[in-house]
Amino acid sequence: VMRTYSITISHLRAHNLPKKDLFTKSDTYVILYWPNTKPVRTDIAFKNSDPKWPKFKHSLEYVLEEDFGDAEGIQRFLRQQLLRIEVYAKHSYRKDSIVGSTQVDLLLCLGGPTDHRLTLVSERHQSAGWIECKITARCVGTASISLHDVTCHLDSEEEKQHLFLRSFLSSSNKDEMETSTCFNTKHPYWSAVGPYEITGDLHMVMNSTLTIHLFAKQEEIIKMKGVVNISLGKYNTASQEFIFFREPVQEHFEQSRNTLGVLEGYIAFSNLPVPCQMWKGYHKDNQIFEAAPLTTGLYTFPDINQDNLPPVFDLFHSGHLVENNRQVLDEDCQNQLRSIIERINCDEDISDALAQLITKFEENAKLFQEAFYQVGGVSVMVSLLQNSLDMLPLTLPTAGETLGASEGILPSIARVLFLALDNYQKNQAFLCRSNRMNLLLRFLERTTDMTATQYLLQVILMIASRDLSGQTSVVSCGGVPVVSKILLHAREEEIQILCMNA
């Protein structure tokens, strides 16, 4: 990822600099070494141990590559973040001598103006004084934020209403966005809200608030019911692509602010830089740089290899800053799954294709779950279930009859669904919709295969325990009576297996 950084340094001053000799103070100046640019030099401050450069202010922009694919890329990225500051004493008849030097990690300056007091290190002086400055660092560019699988749950006892959302981002100058209207419901659902485009200082997003207004529509009358404020700073961790959020819906009147319910879903950040608070926390607990001996006054880098990556970069690898080899691996997994799904869609030996899917999930569940989501695998399994309903009996067996009669590919479909949804919320959210949940329950109600029943029960349990929207989906579609009937008609040993597995 190529990013543009804007850096400004000002309010430069030094304190307690060493004297030239016993009776004379030094004539000093400062040289700043910026990443990948020419050095910048201040004017000379004459005969002063506490010099100031009030007129000095320097700004520049430079492009930096964020490459966390390997240890070499990390080393290169870290070195490019350093601003080196050197203080020199001017001499008339010999080469100017260095008084002391220090360095600043520009990553710690992101997010707003920061004041710095930096100790100068020198090989000639035991105490070389210190230097103060103000640094403003910004990451300039374009990014976006979007919400997915948004559900509102109202506690009100009022009748069902026509509900929609209007939302805007505090750091964006663009008009507010409006969703479609959900009719006659207390639990409206929107598959996507946004995206909200951000241009300028991307780190200001940390301090931004996404404000969402909930409206009720009745004939031609539109009434605001509540407001939701989402502080983006606590969700942008760079550790996940989709982050679950749950915020209260409050009355829009300032005096009352009663809670009307909750709004929940997933928030996704696209093209945002490394959150600066992650760097600050990491620097506090783990030294990326090690101080060199006082003879140089500079930093040395510890050896970083693929087996010794700093923990902060492990977070980037699993989030939206994905390493290059992981992207290649994801594409390879998607291609494998696409070829299998194409065989299923063409009705080419579906049993063998489902067996291959099960093998892939058992090899690396997390990797293939993501790839399965990207290629729309859950949708294909739902279509298979729909087409397979004709193979099932119309009624459950009577009490005492076995549930173990095999029904061909149906147990394999149920097992693939279980493996795809196990601890993977994006696939679980796909099945929360009422039409898909109804299909699962109809399948569960009519199948007589023990294996299929076990896996489907676990799938429905995962969805119900996922969040409030999952519970609502299962209960509103009649899931509790269906499960009760299955346990009622099952034999004693089968009940033990079902209860143990689900």
Cis peptide before 195 (omega within 30 of 0): yes
| Encoded tokens for 236 | 């942008």
Whether 349 contacts 408, CB under 8 Å: no
Please identify which residue in the block is written with the tokens 């694919």: 69
pLDDT for 332: 67
Rounded to whole angstroms, the Cα distance separating 3 from 141 reads 7
| CA 247 from centre of chain | 17
User: Cα separation of 393 and 401, whole Å?
Assistant: 14
- Rounded Cα distance between 429 and 473, Å, is 10
Structure tokens at 275: 């959150």
The encoded tokens of residue 15 equal 């304190």
Q: Determine the Cα–Cα distance for residues 28 and 98; give it in Å rounded to an integer.
A: 9
Does residue 205 contact residue 222 with C-beta atoms inside 8 Å? Answer: no
d(CA 422, CA 407) in angstroms, rounded, equals: 24
pLDDT attached to residue 500: 55
Structure tokens at 363: 């090899």
List all residues 6 or more positions away from 336 whose beta carbon is below 8 Å from its beta carbon.
360, 371
3-class secondary-structure state, position 130: strand
- For residues 475 and 481, the answer to whether their CB atoms sit within 8 Å is no
Those residues whose C-beta lies under 8 Å from the C-beta of residue 123, and which sit 6 or more positions away, are 294, 295, 296, 297
Angle at 425 between CA 424 and CA 429, to 5 degrees: 135
Name the region of 358 (left: φ>0; alpha: ψ -120 to 50; beta: rest): alpha
Nearest to 350 by CA among 375, 380, 371: 380
Other CB atoms within 10 Å distance of the CB of residue 119: 12
CA dihedral 99, 105, 106, 112 (to 10 degrees): -100
User: 468, 429, 474: which is closest to 456 by C-alpha?
Assistant: 474
Q: What is the DSSP string of 182-224?
A: EEEESS-EEEEEEEEEEEEEGGGGGG-EEEEEEEEEETTEEEE
Q: For helices 350-363 and 324-345, what crossing angle results, to 10°?
A: 160
Per the CB < 8 A criterion, the answer to whether 412 and 354 are in contact is: yes
State the CB neighbour count (10 A cutoff) for residue 416: 25
Q: List the beta bridge partners of residue 30.
A: 87
Residue 454, token pair as written in the block: 């076990």
User: Degrees (nearest 5) of the Cα angle 233, 235, 237?
Assistant: 90
The sheet with strand 28-33 has its strands ordered as: 40-41, 28-33, 82-89, 97-105
Residue carrying the six token digits 């608070």: 277
Which parts of the chain sit beneath pLDDT 70? 1, 22-23, 35-36, 64-81, 107-108, 111-112, 157-158, 171-175, 203, 205-207, 236-242, 253-257, 272-332, 345-348, 389-408, 466-467, 491-502
Whole-angstrom CA distances from 323 to 66, 195, 314, 330 are: 10, 25, 10, 11
Q: How far apart are CA 164 and CA 166, in angstroms?
A: 7
| Domains of the chain from N-terminus onward | 2-139 (2.60.40.150), 140-270 (2.60.40.150), 324-501 (1.25.10.10)
